[in-house]
Amino acid sequence: MAEQYEQEGRLEECFELYRRAAHLVATTLPADRAAALIGRMMAAGAVVAAEQVFHEIVETCGPHPSSTAYTASALMDAGSPELAYYFLDAVLAKYQSSEGELESLAAYLNAGRRSELAVYAFTAAARNKPVSTVLRYSAVLRKRGHSRSAVDLLVSVVAGRPDDVGTMVGALRKGGREREVEAVLVGLATGASDEACAALLDCLAKDGTDADVSVLIGLFSNRPFASMAAIASTVDSPEAATMLVPALLAAPREQQAAYFTAEQAQLSSSQRGRLASLLVASAPDECPEALLSWYAAWADPTGVVWLVEQLERARIPLDQVLAAAAGRRDFASLQEALHRLGSHQLSYRLAGLRSEFGL
C-alpha cells in the first residue's frame, strides 16, 4: 500500500505508513532499498518517519559486521554520506563491538571499497574506549597505511575528552610514538574551539610536561589575536595564561588595536580585567596603547589605580590612559571612589583633564 501511495504521489500517507511499519521495513527490505527510502524521506522533509526507519535498521543490524557494512555502504550509494557516518556511530555506540568484530567490519568495508568508512569505524568505536584501546586502534590504522587517519583518530578522541590529553601524550611517548605527539597537538590547536583549547591547555598543564604546554602554546600563536585572548582569559591555570603573553603581544598590532577598540561582547567583565591585568603585569612596556586606554575606560577604581601605578613604575607616559579615564561617563562615581581609596592626587589630576576637555 505504501508503495502504491508513493507511485500516486501521495507522499505524506506513504511515509506515514512506512513509519508505522518501520520494523517491517528494516527486516524485509534489502539494505539498498531501505537506504534509498530514507533518502527520499529526508528529501521530502519527512524527518520523523526517516528517523524511525533508521533506528529500526540500527536495531536490525545489531553488532553483525556484514550487515552493518552493507547498510553503511548502501547509505553512501543512496547519496546520504552523513547518514552513513551517523549509522556507524549509532551501531558502534549501542553495541560496543569487540575488537574482532571491529576488524571484521573494517574488512567488509574495505572489500566494498569503502575505506573512508572503515577508517571512520575505528574513530567512532574509540570515542568511549580507554586510552590504551584508542592507541591500539590508531596503531591498526597506521599499519594499514592510514597514518593521517591514525592521528585524526587521536585528535578526535582527545578533542571530545580533553581530560585525557596528558594521559594520551604520556602513553604515546612511553610507547615510542614520539613523532605522533606534536601531530596530535597540531591537530588540536588548529581544529578546536577557543573554549576547548583553554580546557586542553589546563589539562596538559596539570598532567603533561612543560615542554608539551610550550608546544601547544606555540601552536596557538598561529591563531588570530582575538582567539588567543579568549583562551588566555578562560584558561584556569595562571602559569599557562602567563605563558601565552609573549604570543599575545607578538600578534600583529593592528589585530590588537582592532580587538581593544571594538566591543568585546564575548568576554565578561572579569575576563576582560584578567586579560588586561595579565598583559600589563607581564609586559607593561610592550602593551599597545589601545589596550591601556581600553582598560582605563571601564575598569573599576581599584583597577585604574593599579594600572596607573604599574605604568608609572615602568616609566610609561600616562597621557592617553588618563584621557580615557577622564572621559568616562561614570566619572563622578569614579572620582568619589578614588577619594575613598585615598588616591586624591589622581582624582584631582583626572578632574583637571576633564575640565580641559570641556566635559
- 10 part of a folded domain: yes
267 assigned to some structural domain:
no
Task: Answer yes or no: do 219 and 134 share one domain.
Answer: yes
**What pLDDT band is residue 267 in, cutting at 50, 70 and 90?**
low
Residue 152 falls inside a structural domain:
yes
Residue 256 lies in a domain: no
Which of 90, 107, 124 is a domain's end point? 124
| Per-residue pLDDT at 264 | 57
Give yes or no for a contact between 277 and 310, defined as CB atoms under 8 angstroms apart. no
**Residue 152 and residue 178: Cα distance in Å, rounded?**
16
Q: What is the mean pLDDT of residues 160-177?
A: 87
Grid coordinates representing 52 are 524511525
Mind listing the pLDDT tens digit for each residue in 129-144?
889 989 998 988 888 8
pLDDT at 169 over 80: yes
Task: Provide the domain count of the chain.
Answer: 3
Amino acid letter, residue 301: P
10 and 92 fall within a common domain: yes
pLDDT of 248 above 60: yes
Residue 197 is predicted with a pLDDT of 87
Would residue 278 count as lying in a domain? yes
**pLDDT value at residue 125:** 85
- The residue out of 97, 124, 151 marking a domain boundary is 124
The whole-angstrom separation of Cα 195 and Cα 51 is 32
For residues 324 and 276, give the distance between their C-alpha atoms in angstroms, rounded to a whole number. Answer: 15
Residues 3 and 112 in one domain: yes
Contact status, residue 120 vs residue 97, Cβ threshold 8 Å: no
**One domain, residues 118 and 136:** no
Regarding whether 193 and 207 lie in a shared domain, the answer is yes
Q: What percent of the chain has pLDDT over 70?
A: 96
Would 56 be classed as within a structural domain? Answer: yes
Model confidence over 62-86: pLDDT tens digits?
778 888 898 899 888 888 888 889 8
Say what the pLDDT of residue 266 is.
60
**Statement to judge: residues 141 and 177 lie in one domain:** yes
* Confidence band of 299 (pLDDT split at 50, 70, 90): confident
Q: Does residue 273 surpass a pLDDT of 60?
A: yes
pLDDT at 246: 92
Q: What is the mean pLDDT of residues 19-31?
A: 86
Q: Is the pLDDT of residue 188 over 60?
A: yes
What is the value of pTM for the model shown? 0.65
Output the pLDDT for position 322.
92
Assess if residue 199 is contained within a domain.
yes
Domain that holds residue 330: 273-359
Residue 30: the pLDDT is 87
pLDDT digits (tens, 9 = 90+) for 45-66: 888 888 888 888 888 887 788 8
Domain boundary among 124, 150, 168: 124
Q: Smallest Cα–Cα separation from 79: which of 38, 27, 18?
A: 38
Res 200: pLDDT: 87
Same domain (yes/no): 29, 83: yes
- Please check whether residues 85 and 165 belong to one and the same domain: no
Question: Residue 113, class by beta-carbon neighbours within 10 Å (0-12 exposed, 13-18 middle, 19+ buried)?
Answer: exposed
From CA 62, how far away is CA 297, in angstroms rounded?
62
Q: Which whole number is the average pLDDT over 156-175?
A: 86
Mean pLDDT value across residues 326-344: 89
Res 261 pLDDT > 80: no
* pLDDT at position 323: 92
**Mean of the per-residue pLDDT values of the chain:** 85
> Within a domain: residue 102?
yes
Q: Average pLDDT, stretch 159-163?
A: 84
